[in-house]
Amino acid sequence: MQKLKTILLRCFLVVFSAGWVFPFWLAGAAYLNFVQIEAWPLWRGETPINSFPFLRFVSNAFCIGCGWLMLALAFWTWIFSAKVIAKDKA
């Protein structure tokens, strides 16, 4: 049972530490879709046929990714600094 808890904790830490990449990837993919589906036809003088709010989604995904990254950096900075302070006191 203890091994399962350790594995689950490690999986959570991996997702928490590196998961911020996913919202950034979604934002980049949505922006490229916006350029291909909406912006490019507008530049050619055509009317795009789409109602998905690409740029709002890009903005939200980017903000979520930034917030997630800040939390992950703050967490690991806290852990690292606690170990450094404990080592200095010893």
Nearest in space to 23 (alpha carbons), one of 57, 62, 56, 71: 62
Half-sphere exposure of residue 5, counting CA atoms within 13 Å on the CB side? 2
pTM of the complete model: 0.82
Place of tokens 């080592």: 87
What are the pLDDT digits (tens) for 7-62? 999 999 999 999 999 999 999 999 999 999 998 888 888 888 788 899 999 999 99
Task: Look at the chain and report how many structural domains it folds into.
Answer: 1
**Parent domain of 45:** 2-89
